[in-house]
Chain A
């Protein structure tokens, strides 16, 4: 099986996780979207040298993974898959920013290293929040939640159709790739020229399909609006979920919780 195919089958894995029935899964999709948004905004609002302040925020993904019965290894794997992006983005920080801002015994730590680690932490926090959102809610319910929260329909419908047809498209792409590799024999990488025409063909096929799809929609009375028939109920528990997390994020942002905790523990010890 080609890599694209197996990677996509894995995307389907989120849908399976999302069918569970846990206190997290039962929350209204809008509640989970709002909490995740609040979380991400909080994470990115920290100063670039602030490492200890970020630590309490790990409670959010850890709690959701635990209560939502998600497989931590699976999510970590996905995180690693995307990590090269973050690893490369910050790679020059240690070289550019050499001012010493921290001393750990004999080791002097430059600001560049601190901000690099901070980038990696934020990357893991925000991405894991997104992954957890999808795997406790399901992609389509996230779209529905966005639609109900007045995100423009053209955008949410795009997402929905993207998610529906990415499998079809990948199947088509992997068929073409298979056809090429069976006749190329050499086992070498695909030359740029072949790759270009393959992508071009894929685009044309996608356009053809879009046209047929549009015809299918028209013949069932499509008038520019997709109506959804899924009841959503935002209850007390959902409100508590959102407000509870929001309160925690504000606290974590305003006060240095690890330090406070340390002081309290020290105070009790004395």
Chain B
């Protein structure tokens, strides 16, 4: 079964005005893997993510999601397979109430109302925000918004979750709860982030993007122990792997 694979081959993307954002990115992510995509600001992470749901079309190279190569004809199918969670929940939650927002995707899939209702209930239960169902999104806290944003994607039962900076703007406890939630999912996960501790918690594999290319691709721990690589890619060891400021012991 090749259902949940994501394969990117020699992906190039040039923005209008000749900014080369991606210059030959290749990787293959297998079913059930959890992969962190890290890199400096402007390294091309966001551009890469926007290819995974077909918002951008490669200038050169191919993207393959599940059984489908990404083309104009298959983009609908690909979007059904890939659930994309955006960095700013305010961009993702546009409907008047939480319930309607979570129902937006399933309704677009053309599902009958009863099926939509069960899916919405289930998604809200999964992320633990069933009590917020009738609230307008702008009245939620940051953590609640984030959870609802995930629910809007889960209700479409995607096989692959793509998350852009999922822990930005969360307080430490909300962040911890959110990591726990993500851990409980069995989807294939692709997480673009600067929060390397999050990668350490969730991802066994890490891809480092630098200046539009894959600079490294391998086990997260191995990459985070390579000081030269991290330095060259404008990154730092995850905080947990750095020396303790109180006692001076490392790790």
Contact = CB atoms under 8 A, between A and B. Distances in A.
Q: Chain A interface secondary structure, helix, strand, loop or mixed? A: helix
Given A221-B156, A229-B103, A230-B100, A164 B108 contact: no
Contacts of A140: 96-97
Nearest to A221: B108
B91 A219 contact: no
A250 interface: no
Contacts of A219: 53, 55, 79, 82-84
Q: Chain B interface secondary structure, helix, strand, loop or mixed? A: helix
B33 interface: no
A222 interface: yes
B96 A215 contact: no
Interface string A139-169: 0100100000000000000001101110110
Interface string A208-240: 010011011111111100111110000000000
Contacts of B50: 215
Contact of B113 (A163, A209, A229): A229
A161 B80 contact: no
Contact of B138 (A167, A227, A230): A167
Given A164-B96, A168-B138, A213 B82 contact: no
A15 interface: yes
A220 B138 CA distance: 20
Contacts of A167: 138
A19 to B, nearest CB: 9
A105 to B, nearest CB: 55
Contacts of B80: 221
Contacts of A221: 76, 79-80, 105, 108-109, 156
B152 interface: yes
Contacts of B55: 215, 218-219
Given A167-B138, A220-B105, A220-B153, A213 B91 contact: yes
Given A221-B109, A222-B108, A223-B108, A168 B90 contact: yes
A228 B100 contact: yes
A80 to B, nearest CB: 27
A161 B138 CA distance: 12
A135 to B, nearest CB: 15
Nearest to A138: B96
Q: Which has the most chain A C-beta neighbours within 10 Å: B86, B88, B136, B152?
A: B136
A209 B91 contact: yes
Nearest to A164: B94
B104 interface: yes
B92 interface: yes
B107 A15 contact: no
A222 B100 CA distance: 14
Interface string B86-127: 101011101111001001110111000100110000000000
Interface of A: 12, 15, 140, 143, 160-161, 163-165, 167-168, 209, 212-213, 215-223, 226-230
Given A220-B79, A220-B108, 5 more contacts: A168-B90, A217-B104, A219-B82, A220-B152, A220-B156
29 contacts: A12-B139, A15-B136, A140-B97, A164-B137, A165-B94, A168-B90, A212-B86, A212-B91, A213-B94, A215-B91, A216-B84, A216-B86, A216-B92, A216-B94, A217-B94, A218-B53, A218-B55, A219-B55, A220-B79, A220-B105, A220-B108, A220-B152, A220-B153, A220-B156, A221-B108, A221-B109, A223-B108, A229-B100, A229-B117
